[in-house]
Structure 1
Amino acid sequence: MCAATDWKQKCQSEWKLKGRDIPAPDGVDWKSVHSKKPFNRNLLKNPAPHGLSHTQPPPELPAPGFGDEPPRFEPEGDFKDWTTSTERLPLDSSGIPEGAAICHLPQYSWFTMEQHVDLLGQGLWVELLDSYQPDICIQDWYEETLLHKSLYQLQVKLLGADRKTVIQEHSVSPEEDQSQDEHRWKEVSHKFRGYGPGVRHVHFLHRLKCMSMIGFQATRATDSAVLVRLRD
């Protein structure tokens, strides 16, 4: 028996491909597929750039106050493998009576983090994605605070081979209940299923609200994940 067949049988046995009627053509580099372990593995790199975990309570928020440090408009963290950008939002003076003296207004901004996943590069193969269409699962956790009624936005796209054609998309922008201050991690998740043929890439993007006013406060996210799962 040739080595290629051995690796194919190894993958079929470990992941029960035959029992699930999953296409396993001979043209696939099964040794490479096996080494990359594409199923139930987080395909995002550096999923916790703030060094935090949702299994532990978020750290206490910094107390506002005057300081000698220059104003900051971006969160602190190790954002390797992420593409980041900051969008400063217009000052909001609504609700302030005419003629009132204004000392400080909050300066809000969105901090955007995005990452691209090449599904074929992660060990998946064309026939699997087009015929069987495994579940593509998204998970994320963001910090609930009283900073603003809108703290977090998520946008995930399943893209074609050209990395531009959107085959399916999921977006969410929750509104917070500011009557309660629980300061906890809130989970956001979604499962893509039956998305049709042609999916080759996943684009993951989330936006986190920040505020600068006599200090800086940023919403944090952690344990972001893109996982491919075979259906039971």
Structure 2
Amino acid sequence: MACSSGWKEKCELLWKLKQRGVPAPDSVNWKTVFEKKPIERNLIKTPAPAGLSHTSPPPIHELDGMMGSRPPQFEPEGDFTGWLTSREDLPLDDSGVPPGAMVCYRPYFSWFTLEQRINLKGEGLWEELLDVYQPDICIQDWYEDSKLHEEIYQLQVRLLAADEQTVLQEFKLNPKNNTAGDPNCWLEVSHVFRQYGPGVRHLHFLHRVKTMRMIDFRATRVTDSSVLVKLRD
């Protein structure tokens, strides 16, 4: 549906589309594009579910108190609006337990998964921009150096076609972490999708964090997740 040239001119001025050689056909609903402002706007909903910021150190973990004083916790708490969450309990690792030894407490580990699907056209981007110009799609995430395990964080981001199944590009990360020291900092993860070819219509963002239940519950925390679409200078 064609829109008045006024909205198109506002978008061209706002993002300097002509100077950058960005295709701007008249068939685009420029009023919607201007209102949604999809360029350099974080497309992730609720980017900080725990209400934390990477600009401040992670809060010190506090014990639950006396055993039995509250119901057992198995998943992180927070505002997960926009996220699809799930938990995968991991089997106990008895490899380090000597035969016949009595174990009072053993850690129970789980993966806690948060994922979102982003409809790029639904967020205001248009087909000619994605297919011809192919703007940079920038991913950033921060996770706590929780020291719970050598594997505490995983990330998978996929660029998908219109059918939401065909993967056109993918970025995966499964870092190994040093378990020594104090858990007092955030670790950054970033990636930029470039020259990904035509056909990208959706983005699937998924990260997993390690949690541990022993005497009390502890979780690796994530914050300030972002997906930004940026025009090249």
What is the TM-score when the length of structure 1 is the normalising length?
A: 0.96
- Cα RMSD after superposing both structures: 1.4
Q: What does residue 158 of structure 1 align with?
A: 159
1:20 and 2:20 matched: yes
Q: What does residue 223 of structure 1 align with?
A: 224
C-alpha change, 1:155 and 1:108, in structure 2 (3 Å) is same
C-alpha separation in 1, matches of 2:110 and 2:151: 11
C-alpha separation in 2, matches of 1:173 and 1:204: 14
Structure 1 runs of 4+ off > 4 angstroms? Answer: none
Q: What does residue 134 of structure 1 align with?
A: 135
C-alpha change, 1:89 and 1:167, in structure 2 (3 Å) is same
What SS is found at the alignment partner of 2:206? strand
What SS is found at the alignment partner of 1:18? helix
How many Å apart are 1:63 and its aligned residue? Answer: 3.3
How many Å apart are 1:159 and its aligned residue? Answer: 0.3
Could you tell me which runs of 5 or more consecutive residues in structure 1 were left unpaired when the two chains were aligned. none
CA contact (8 A) 1:54 1:222 kept: yes
C-alpha separation in 1, matches of 2:65 and 2:97: 22
CA contact (8 A) 2:3 2:26 kept: no
C-alpha separation in 1, matches of 2:195 and 2:35: 27
1:169 and 2:170 matched: yes
C-alpha separation in 2, matches of 1:143 and 1:79: 18
CA contact (8 A) 1:66 1:215 kept: no
C-alpha separation in 2, matches of 1:3 and 1:66: 64
Query: What are the superposed Cα offsets for residues 110-140 of structure 1, whole Å, 9 maximum, x if unpaired?
Result: 0000011110011100000000000000011
Query: What are the superposed Cα offsets for residues 25-83 of structure 1, whole Å, 9 maximum, x if unpaired?
Result: 11001111011111111001111110111111110012376521232111111111110
Which range moves more in the overlay, 112-121 or 177-186? 177-186
What is the TM-score when the length of structure 2 is the normalising length?
A: 0.96
Could you tell me which runs of 5 or more consecutive residues in structure 2 were left unpaired when the two chains were aligned. none
CA contact (8 A) 1:66 1:214 kept: no
Query: What are the superposed Cα offsets for residues 133-190 of structure 1, whole Å, 9 maximum, x if unpaired?
Result: 0000001101102211111000000000011110000000111112332520111110
Q: What does residue 100 of structure 2 align with?
A: 99
C-alpha separation in 1, matches of 2:203 and 2:100: 51
CA contact (8 A) 2:136 2:229 kept: yes
Amino acid at match of 1:72: Q
The percentage of counterpart residues that share the same residue type is 61
Q: What does residue 63 of structure 2 align with?
A: 63
